[in-house]
Each structure stands twice: as C-alpha cells, then as structure tokens.
Amino acid sequence: MVDRRFHLGWFVHFGAQSWNEPLGSAPEPWDGNLHLDLARAMERACFDYMLIEDTLSIPSVYGGSNAFYLKHGIMAPKHDPAPLAAILGHQTKHLGIVITLSTTFYPPFMLARLAATLDHLTGGRFGWNIVTSTEDAAARNFGMTEMPPRALRYDMANEYVDLVTKLLGSWDPDAVVRDHATDTYVDASKVHPVHHEGRFYRSEGPLNTVRSPQGRPAFIQAGGSPRGREFAGKHADSIIATTNGIAGMKAYRDDVRAHAERQGRDPDSIKVLFLIAPMIADTMAEARTSYERVLATPHYTERALAAFGSFVDIDLSQFDLDQPLPPLTTNGEQGALDKFTQTGIGQAKHDKTLRQLVRESGTSSSLELVGTPDHVAELMGEAMEAVGGDGYLITHPFGGLTRHYVLGITEGLVPALQRRGLARTAYSTDTLRETLLEF
Ligand SMILES: Cc1cc2nc3c(=O)[nH]c(=O)nc-3n(C[C@H](O)[C@H](O)[C@H](O)COP(=O)(O)O)c2cc1C
C-alpha cells in the first residue's frame, strides 16, 4: 500500500504575541510552561518537531521606530530559545526540538558546543534552524552598522556550516572509553583538531565536549531567494517554506530538490514543510466566523504590515493601502516578500492593492484552510498529493500561540488526518533525523 503520510512541524515564537487574544491572554509565557504544555500536545499528535523562531533585535522598521512593536508585543519582547529547548527536550521523549541560531552572530565554536549539548539534553532530537539573519537592527546590536549583503551572508554561512560540522565530528564515535581498569575516560587519539583556516573563520578545534547522539543535529533551513534555495538544497534535512497556493508550493519544492540533486544529494532525504495556518472549528460557518474575526482584530492591518515589514526590512507604512505596491527588492527575507506580494516563482502578476495583500497574507498562508477538521484534512491531503510532498509547518493565524488553538489542531485536525492515513499515529524512531527519514 502507498504510504500517503506526511510530516508535521509547528512554528512557534518564545514571546507574548498572543497576550491580547480572546482565548490566549493568560498566563504569561516567560517561565516556559506554556511551551511545555504545547510540546506535550504536539508529541501526543506525533509531530516531527516544534521549531522556535528567533531574531536578535526589537524591530524599528515600521514608522521608523520600535514603539509600535513594543506597544502591541509584535516580534518583541522575546526570550532566548536555547534554554527552553533544554527544558522541552528533557520533558518529552519523541518530539524534535528545533531552535533558530544565526550564522551571522554566533561564533561557530559556541554554536557547535551548544548544539552538541542540546542534542544530548534532548536525547538526539535537536535541530538547528540555520538562519543568516536579515535585520539591520540586529547588526547594530552586535557592533556592525548593517547586515552584509545576502550573497556574502550565504558565502559565510556555507563555510560556517562546514566548520560547525567539522567541530561536531572532531570526536570519533568511540572516543569515550570509560575503562575503569586503566582510569581512561577518553582515548585522546580519537579526538582530532580541525585546523580550520578559511576565508571567514579560523578554528583550531577539537570541540571540548563529547560527540552528540545524532553526530550532528538535524539541519533545518528556509532559503527563499535563489541563493537561499541553493544553500538549503545543499545542507538541509528539512526545509521550511512560505509560498502561495499549490502551484507555488510545487514550484518551490521542485526547485530545492533540483538544487539538492545538483549537489549530489538524494532529494528524498530533504523534507519540505510548507507553512500553513488552518482555522478549525466544529462547523464550516464557525470556522469562517473565526477567520473573519482574526481579520477584524483591532489594528490587524497595521500589525500585519509591521510584522511583514520587519521580515523584509521595509517600512510598509509609507505605501497607500488602496494602491498596488511598487516593485520591491530586499536584503531581508526575499521569500517572505515574494509570498506577501504574491510574485514568487509560479505566481501570475496581479494588481492587488496593499490592503488586499494584507487580507490574504495572514491567515491563508500557503493555502487557505478554513473549516471543520475533516474538511481541512481533505484539502491538506489533496494539496500534498498535487505538490508531491513532504509536509506542513503549522502556525497560528497571524503568529499567535494559544493552548486553545494548538489543541484544536492536535485533538481535532490531526486525528482527521490520521483517519485518512495522512499522519503518523505512533513514533517508531528515536532521533529527529530518523523521524524525518521515516517516510
Ligand atoms: C517558516 C519560516 C521561518 C523562519 N524563521 C526565521 C527565524 O526564526 N529567524 C530568522 O532570522 N529568519 C527566519 N526565517 C527567514 C529565513 O531564514 C530566510 O531568510 C528567508 O526564508 C528568506 O530567504 P532568503 O534568505 O534566501 O532571502 C524564516 C523563514 C521561514 C519561511
């Protein structure tokens, strides 16, 4: 029988973004307990992984100030995800825990050591969401004046990932011998310096901690620009993508798989997960009402423009809401810009106004999924069939995160997928990389 199952991930932030939602205003997320509850729910539903996003500044793009972001709690405040990954990994048994760490701002040795440590604390279920970062405000927090141009960021990231991989591989699998008779903990001949002297980085190595359970963590990536897709096709075990509709999804997946093949990789070893924000309710009418309610949230349009503006580093407050946008380019997230303006690969040109683009951007995501669990499960199955694979990365409409929403998905939508043979009903592997390769 054909295995029609697809992979499921969840995209979360470690901030207070949902504090003023009718069903999400309590309690505060800062002690980690909200995410722990959600991780347990995702694990009951057999998700592959929870991915925690991260950025390193309070945005100040919208209207040229950070005031709007702080007032509404958009993209800030935000905790560091690394300690949370340790807690979540310790308290779960199967769910992959992925955090975002930037190649522009972390020293490679520190990142390799953190990744090895977290892979142990999660029992081999740690993943690294590899980002190069896009915000000039973050660059200014680290003593730079602006972000390097995208091509340079990816040149640096290529060397960075190679170095981190070398450091993680600097301990042979059998280096720890624990021989009581000779009082030998480590066989020093099995721990090797890396002697890396590259264009951007130098590191002597070896890493000063033991080899991690997976050897290296799972690599997750979200390249959107041609250069980013090439990078993702080269390194990623799982790619997360935001695009428009089935045609956009298929074009994106075909493209990154072609990149992978050109690099000599088996494209089936990469799982592409498409960002979706389903709106689920008991009846079709209730789901539609909830969807419209999100769009009617106070300041919805401004909030969406501020959030998108921070991804693409463009002040969207400068444009007329009732006119089409002029052609835009960015040194920020090209993928997010293409999706928002609906001009990505495979998309027809259009003359939608900025207001329409905002309306279509928040809840519909890669696909518009509004309805009962059975209705949405059916649509997700049909779309996956047409795209060819590999799964979905779920997020709350407009980026919020509430127990109520997560349970609707894990206790309503996922069982509907499972009844159709579209989702895992039990874990059969131990590490995140194995889980991703299960089908
Ligand atoms: C689902 C998704 C999640 C992302 N999460 C982050 C993140 O947490 N931090 C970050 O700096 N960039 C994040 N990005 C941006 C990507 O790393 C990348 O910059 C973006 O997709 C644009 O691709 P490009 O760099 O090739 O233009 C995310 C992108 C997507 C699609």
Residue 323 lies in a domain: yes
By residue range, what is the domain housing residue 127? 7-169+196-437
In the reported structure, the alpha carbon of residue 136 is separated from the centroid of ligand 1 by a whole-number distance in angstroms of 15
CA nearest ligand 1 atom 8, residue: 53
Give the model confidence (pLDDT) of 200-239 as tens digits: 999 999 999 999 999 999 999 999 889 999 999 999 999 9
Using the predicted structure, report yes or no on whether residue 376 has a pLDDT greater than 80.
yes
Domain contains 190: no
How does pLDDT run across 229-285, given as a tens digit for each residue? 999 999 999 999 988 889 999 999 999 999 999 999 999 999 999 999 999 999 999
174 domain residue, yes or no: no
| pLDDT value at 349 more than 70 | no
Q: Say how many domains are in the chain.
A: 1
Task: Classify residue 188: in a domain, yes or no.
Answer: no
Tell me, using a 6 A CB cutoff, whether residue 239 lines ligand 1.
no
On the question of pLDDT at 345 being above 60, the answer is no
Does 329 fall in a domain? Answer: yes
CA of 333 to the centre of ligand 1 (A): 6
- Quick one: CA torsion of 54, 58, 64, 69, rounded to 10 degrees? 90
CATH of the domain at 269: 3.20.20.30
> Which SS3 state, helix, strand or coil, does residue 141 take?
helix
Distance (Å) from CA 371 to ligand 1 centroid: 28
Q: Torsion angle, CA of 221/227/229/231, rounded to 10 degrees?
A: -50
The pLDDT > 70 percentage for the chain reads 96
Tokens of 365: 């995501």
pLDDT band at 374; cut points 50, 70, 90? very high
Cβ neighbours of residue 413 closer than 8 Å, sequence gap 6 or more = 278, 280, 373, 376, 377
Q: Report which ligand 1 atom has the smallest distance to the Cα of 241.
A: 31
Per the domain annotation, does 165 fall within a domain?
Answer: yes
The closest-lying atom of ligand 1 relative to the alpha carbon of residue 52 is 8
Cα separation, 243 vs 346, in Å, equals 10
